[in-house]
Structure 1
Amino acid sequence: MSTALEKEWKRLLAKEEKMFSSAENRKETKLDEKIKELTGKIEEKIPEKLSATLDAAFYKAFLMIFEKGTGVIEKTFKGDELQLEFQVNDFRVDKKPTKRSLRKLEAVGKKSKLLNSAVTTVEGIGLGVLGVGIPDIPVFLSMLLKGMYETAASYGYDYNKKEEQILILRMIAAGLADGAEKRKADRLVEEWLGFASATEALTFEDEVKRASAALSNAMLMAKFIQGLPVVGAAGGVSNPVVYQKVSQYAALKYKKRYLAAKRQNV
């Protein structure tokens, strides 16, 4: 087996374990304590129904985009170019796996992530200043899925398939999970990828609900703040944070999936 392929595989596994350790062993700083105290005061003012409202808003946005919006999202990036670039990079890996050829695959997705993150910041802050909170969810979700689609395409996977959409939904939930919950959420992703035996069967609607709840929990406070005029600009800052967590996790998993397939074929 290729030495470069094995080194890259071990590097990825180490990176994956570091991600889990960081989530499980993170120690609170004084700043964290102050933020927690502040957020506690804000949480007291959040209406009880807002969580359910956010869950429903994300759920409806997911269904709408998967059913009618994917074609619109595809117009915002050059899918054909990503596919061609993947084929070129994949050919290089097949011909001679090297550190450079393997990292080329990773580089393709990074270009779009930087732009998408910047756009989610502007979109969030802009709507926040206007006092818009929940109505911008389809806009943000479209940007998040755009990044997921680009990552999938850069590794040669078809995001239009229902099965791939389930993987994307599981990645969103796992990317936003924290602490010990991260490994639990990650196991569902590993099960889909075939790296772990399946423990439960979930319907597509269940998957959408899980991803919606994860996004709702991650953005609950920010969306409450974002719904307030002027102060809402602070809420928009959460958009790129959520985007980065999900996109970094997805990039790691897509690369693991790709490398696993290559290791089997060598």
Structure 2
Amino acid sequence: MTVDVRVQDELRSWQKKMEKRQSMTGRLAKRLQTKMNQIIPEKVHHVVTTSIKKMVHATLIGSEYTTSVKRIDHTSFEERERRVDEAIKKYKKTAAVEGAGTGAGGILLGMADFPLLLGIKMKFLFETASCYGYDVNNFRERLFILYLFQLAFSSEEKRKEVYEIVSNWDAYVHTIPTEEEYLENINWKEFQLEYRDHIDLVKMLQLIPGVGAIVGAAANYHFLDVLGETAKNGYRMRLLKL
């Protein structure tokens, strides 16, 4: 497979970022987040927890994200990258519009943003997997999507652990038990706590009257940008074996 030098440079740069040790800033942010969790209304925690549990369930055993996705076969790597870039642009705009709309509506609509944004993120990941030629009806491919999600939205400490799995997927995939066994032991609570802690500080600002629309649009656009970079490079590692 002939690969543009730019793609290889982007991938190696991203890999170095993933392998960096936890920074002082990261540790301070974690402490600040712990304090923030104590003042965030329980109602908000409940919305996020319930939304993530439903998202994990839909990703692993549902058909919500697979029914409209068609696997793309027999095309060049360059064409796959082009399609993924188009998807990133499309979903970033969608997320920004959704964030602006819910952010302008105060706390109730702001809370509604959590499940809506989760859905946008997961639809993007499923479309990206299909663009790169992977079968999203396969349980292990859906599991890889969840790991990419975690990699994009976890603390620096957790990110290192998830990156080890993603970067050694071909070996790790053989250790995964059957679908039924895996579902019985999934630690979805840890999963949702990592995600919630990663985004809460920014998303809480979205609930502030007057600035919610601006914060909501900017934050959602940024989150999809981060997810796009993570997904592209996660699949690049598998395809290019770098």
TM-score tier, shorter chain, comes to 0.7 to 0.9
Aligned to 2:196: 216
Letter in 1 for 2:74: Q
Q: Which moved more, 1:113-122 or 1:212-221?
A: 212-221
Q: Which of 174, 182, 207 is residue 203 of structure 1 equivalent to?
A: 182
Note closer, same or farther for the CA distance 1:229–1:211 as it changes in structure 2 (3 Å cut).
same
Q: Which of 216, 231, 241 is residue 222 of structure 2 equivalent to?
A: 241
Say whether the 8 Å CA contact 1:190–1:196 is kept in structure 2: no
Note closer, same or farther for the CA distance 1:238–1:210 as it changes in structure 2 (3 Å cut).
farther
Aligned to 1:93: none
Note closer, same or farther for the CA distance 1:250–1:204 as it changes in structure 2 (3 Å cut).
farther
Say whether the 8 Å CA contact 1:43–1:221 is kept in structure 2: no
Q: CA deviation at 1:9?
A: 8.6
Aligned to 1:110: 85
Q: Which moved more, 1:248-257 or 1:62-71?
A: 62-71
Letter in 2 for 1:149: F
TM-score (norm 2): 0.75
Q: Distance in 2 between matches of 1:40 and 1:209?
A: 16
Q: CA deviation at 1:10?
A: 5.7
Q: CA deviation at 1:181?
A: 3.3
Letter in 2 for 1:87: H
Aligned to 2:205: 225
Say whether the 8 Å CA contact 1:187–1:196 is kept in structure 2: no
Aligned to 2:74: 87
Aligned to 1:19: 17
3-state SS of paired residue (1:69): coil
3-state SS of paired residue (2:64): helix
Say whether the 8 Å CA contact 1:172–1:211 is kept in structure 2: no
Q: Distance in 1 between matches of 2:21 and 2:177?
A: 24
- Structure exhibiting the larger radius of gyration computed from Cα positions: 1
Q: CA deviation at 1:151?
A: 1.2
Q: CA deviation at 1:26?
A: 6.0
Q: Distance in 1 between matches of 2:62 and 2:87?
A: 24
Q: CA RMSD in A?
A: 3.8
Q: Distance in 1 between matches of 2:239 and 2:132?
A: 7
Aligned to 1:92: none
Are 1:130 and 2:105 counterparts?
Answer: yes
Note closer, same or farther for the CA distance 1:123–1:88 as it changes in structure 2 (3 Å cut).
same
Say whether the 8 Å CA contact 2:93–2:221 is kept in structure 1: yes
Say whether the 8 Å CA contact 2:55–2:118 is kept in structure 1: yes
Note closer, same or farther for the CA distance 1:7–1:71 as it changes in structure 2 (3 Å cut).
closer
Q: Identity percentage over the alignment?
A: 21
Say whether the 8 Å CA contact 1:121–1:237 is kept in structure 2: yes
Letter in 2 for 1:108: R
TM-score (norm 1): 0.69
Say whether the 8 Å CA contact 1:166–1:204 is kept in structure 2: no
- Equivalent residue runs for 1:167-182 within 5 Å: 167-182=144-159
Note closer, same or farther for the CA distance 1:218–1:105 as it changes in structure 2 (3 Å cut).
same
Q: After superposition, what is the alpha-carbon deviation per residue over 1:96-128, rounded to whole angstroms, capped at 9, x for unaligned?
A: xxxxxx433322201110110111011011011
Q: After superposition, what is the alpha-carbon deviation per residue over 1:3-52, rounded to whole angstroms, capped at 9, x for unaligned?
A: x459689646523433225x547676xxxx9x99x989966642356445
Q: CA deviation at 1:254?
A: 0.8
Q: After superposition, what is the alpha-carbon deviation per residue over 1:133-182, rounded to whole angstroms, capped at 9, x for unaligned?
A: 33233321221112111211111101122211111111111122343432
Q: Which of 95, 120, 134 is residue 143 of structure 1 equivalent to?
A: 120
Q: Which runs of 5+ in 2 are unaligned?
A: none
Q: Which runs of 5+ in 1 are unaligned?
A: 90-101
